[in-house]
Copies of this chain bind each other. A is one copy, B any other.
Amino acid sequence: MPHRQVYFFGGGQADGRAEMKNLLGGKGANLAQMTNLGVPVPAGFTISTKVCTHYMESGGAFPEALEGEVGAAIAKVEQAMGTKFGDAENPLLFSVRSGARVSMPGMMDTVLNIGLNEKTVAGLVAETRDERFVYDSYRRLIQMYAEVVMGLDIDEFHALLDARKKEKGVYHDLGLDADDLKELVRQFKSKVRELSGKSFPDDPHDQLWGAIRAVFQSWNIPRAVSYRRLNDIADDWGTAVNVQAMVFGNMGEGSATGVAFTRDPATGERVFYGEYLPNAQGEDVVSGVRTPHPINIAQKNEGDDESLEEAMPKIYGELEAIREKLERHYTDTQDIEFTIQGGKLWMLQTRTGKRTAEAAVRIAVEMEHEGLIDRKTAVLRVEPDQIEQLLHKRLDPAATYELLAKGLPASPGAAVGRVVFTAEDAVSWAEDADKTKHRTILVREETSPEDIDGMNAAQGFLTARGGMTSHAAVVARGMGKCCIAGAGDLKIDYRARAFSVGKRTVKEGDWLTLNGSTGEVILGQIGTVDPEMSGNFATLMEWADEFRQLGVRTNADNPEDSARARSFGAEGIGLCRTEHMFFGEERIRHIRGMIMATDEKERRAALEKLLPFQREDFEGILDAMKGLPVTIRLLDPPLHEFVPHSDKEVEELAKELGKDPQAMKERAANLRESNPMLGHRGCRLGVTYPEVYEMQARAIFEAACRLTKRGVNVKPEVMIPLVGEPKELSILRELVERVAKEVITSEKVAVDVRIGTMIEIPRAALVAEEIAEHADFFSFGTNDLTQMTYGYSRDDAGVFLKDYIKKGVLRKDPFQSLDQRGVGQLVKMAVEKGRLAKPDIHLGICGEHGGDPESINFCHHAGLDYVSCSPYRVPVARLAAAHAVLKARMKAFH
């Protein structure tokens, strides 16, 4: 045992310090620290964690010297507070709380109001002139003590309380008066005797030691033990016990209680922000029975009650000084609780204040300007995941509403519109004479690439099926539109043009509001607020860029998205999907003609017609990204995605193309696949129908050459999808090189030809050294890689993934956060093998994971060169990439 077992704090000085967390626990060290800072904290003392260890090891004995040290500490507290423990006139009451090295919220026990008995009760009544409050405190002590210290059944006491309320015909505890509570104290005491065979201890010292013992013992109650297991907390750390004088804000005039933030937690503005209630307990502020008053004049609105600044200017001045002191010490916004007892200010708690994304950014940047923190710290102060909301329209935070249903928050932001059930309706309503029909919410079982025009026209999408990476979700994030996916409670009846949730029915044309950041579906129109891109945000992003090593690109398929992403700081396009370009009206006709062709000649003729469209697409995108690399993925999805499904539609198509409807139906049926995900797609199409990739390569290099001639700097990179065998890539590389050479020769300008592949099939990672021989770059397609490594179809897995996370089979949805153990192993393997075969190979990731902070941290450590994500995630990725560097540095220093 160390010499000292008990650490006093109070009256402006403490035996402990902030660094003594292991010995005093987090709370004890913090109380000591605040005291040392000169902040008025109710006096008290901490019994060290070593005593707990001794207690456990000795089978429940206290060290010899403890009693004496506690006695001495009590005397010091009495002196500091000007009260006396057990004194009838001027009683000192204690709270007894646990406090381990690491916070274990709610895991261990607390006893309040230690020191109350028949004698001290009278003194306290005299002092507070509030008999009801005092007896309520007393009955609470007995109740808590009976449960926590004596281990009696708490329900027996609740039953007595309930019986009393019933008898009095009141619903709330507040309906009981002082006499009722006096009677309850009597009943509680006899219940204690009845259940335990012992009397409730009247001696304050007995009460105190019982509570101390109970806190030590609570270290080993089952819920605390499980919590330690789950959070890697050692069993032998033990807990400290904090014994602290109680103060009351409801001791008449000159007493009050309040909570405050050192800066505005909503906007981050450097103003003192809070509220208080005169002559009240903390409970009263929280319960909403009384309306709190503003803390200062600055915050007062018309009709508000007197502020603390006006009512107690001196106290308010003290509080202001404490605010400065705490921010300076903790170098972060604090959330504080205070109580004023008989004209004396006491600080009960200070902790880091929660804040909105907007506030987080402003506080971090301003604190750096104020010299409170350095840039690294400022960057680390903002959570990457948080900032995406700054880029989207949001629901008015002040609005109240009723929830209709909940789905997955698939693409953030807010959308308000009228319900339509088909993409065609979304398009036609947008052009309706009735302008109220222009804003629509597209509600579907799930969306498909054919819905693209309707998705463009709608404000947001709501699907009953599909997950975070379903078609609707991916497209929405790309467009920056709001989407809620997989709202399984929706029963959609397309024929009736309505959907129902439980007994509620929503019809076509009804107004709906979506909160894509929470997944909440709301009936009616809720107000929204537009994003504000403050200068602080830009500043923070610049700082992040100073630290990060990973490049950040974007996934974009059109000039608008490309330009938007560039404005968000994207350093190139990591994934430009070419198939989304096929869905325009005229294009889809040609692509269908190509698919339905019966021979290569016919196929080539259809492709010839498609070529100008593709070239134009690529020109637009390469132009928008001028000077930055643009990775263009050649056709990836299976052909049947472009072909109509119903017999009727196929017949129409046959008429349009001038073909035999029967042959056409057969061809369409032949294209259908059992598992399209694992079917005839990606480079497999390129190998079997080389003319398709030839057309795409031609379009890319013709666009590149034309722009070059116009003086635009272009960096196209051709990406071959779904490679699993090195030979697939070597065949297609040869094809692309040949076409590029033809175009470059005929256009007579120089354009760099860079060709690479996606690593998205497990086998590709396994044989990466062979594939690297034919690749200038690898881009990890972690969506598909996750699907195949886990054997999960992302379109179908929603059904069991929820259950899997609930049952602890999975920690997180692997489509949202990269599975580092399994999929990550393949990524690392491919990085290693790829670099071994070709040291200068360029490596990136273009799966949805490229926008997930935890996954970005993995990519940084796996040694990738860049991540690519949807435009709205670009700032998130920039910040997360900086965090990865800074956190690794911090680790290295510790």
Contacts and interface: CB of A to CB of B under 8 A. Distances in A.
A770 to B, nearest CB: 8
Contacts of A793: 673-675, 677-679
Contact of A679 (B491, B797, B826): B797
Contact of A809 (B680, B687, B795, B797): B687
Contact of A791 (B724, B792, B799): B724
B666 A809 contact: no
A430 interface: no
A795 B679 CA distance: 8
Nearest to A810: B725
Given A788-B762, A791-B761, A796-B675, A727 B666 contact: no
B795 A675 contact: yes
A584 interface: no
A724 to B, nearest CB: 5
A825 B766 contact: yes
Given A762-B762, A796-B673, A804 B687 contact: yes
Interface residues of A, number: 50
Interface in A791-812: 791-793, 795-797, 799-800, 803-804, 807-810
A140 interface: no
Contacts of A795: 673-675
A244 B843 CA distance: 63
A22 interface: no
16 contacts: A674-B676, A676-B796, A678-B791, A679-B796, A679-B797, A684-B800, A687-B800, A687-B803, A724-B789, A724-B790, A762-B762, A762-B788, A762-B826, A763-B822, A766-B789, A767-B825
Contact of A675 (B666, B678, B800): B678
A503 interface: no
A800 B680 contact: yes
A787 interface: yes
Contacts of A762: 762, 788-789, 791, 822, 826
10 nearest A-B pairs in the assembled complex, by CB-CB distance: A678-B793, A675-B793, A763-B822, A674-B795, A679-B796, A675-B677, A673-B796, A761-B791, A762-B762, A675-B675
A492 to B, nearest CB: 10
Interface string A814-849: 000001011101100000000000000000000000
A499 to B, nearest CB: 13
A822 B790 contact: no
Contacts of A821: 766-767
A731 interface: yes
A728 interface: yes
B678 A809 contact: no
A688 interface: yes
A677 B795 CA distance: 12
A773 to B, nearest CB: 14
Nearest to A674: B795
Given A680-B800, A767-B822, A687 B807 contact: yes
A790 B761 contact: yes
A468 interface: no
Interface string A718-737: 00001011011001000000
Nearest to A803: B688
A545 interface: no
Interface in A96-145: none
Contacts of A797: 678-680
A784 interface: yes
A809 B676 contact: no
Nearest to A465: B670
A728 B800 CA distance: 12
A680 B808 contact: no
Contacts of A763: 789-791, 819, 822-823
Given A677-B793, A763-B822, 20 more contacts: A673-B795, A677-B678, A678-B796, A678-B797, A679-B799, A684-B800, A684-B804, A687-B800, A687-B807, A688-B800, A724-B822, A727-B807, A727-B809, A762-B791, A762-B822, A763-B819, A766-B825, A784-B791, A788-B789, A788-B791
Contacts of A799: 679-680, 688
Given A789-B766, A826-B766, A807 B678 contact: no
A325 B469 CA distance: 74
Given A766-B825, A767-B822, A807-B687, A792 B678 contact: yes
A313 B422 CA distance: 93
A552 to B, nearest CB: 28
Counting chain B CB atoms within 10 Å of each CB, which of A761, A762, A788, A792 scores highest? A762
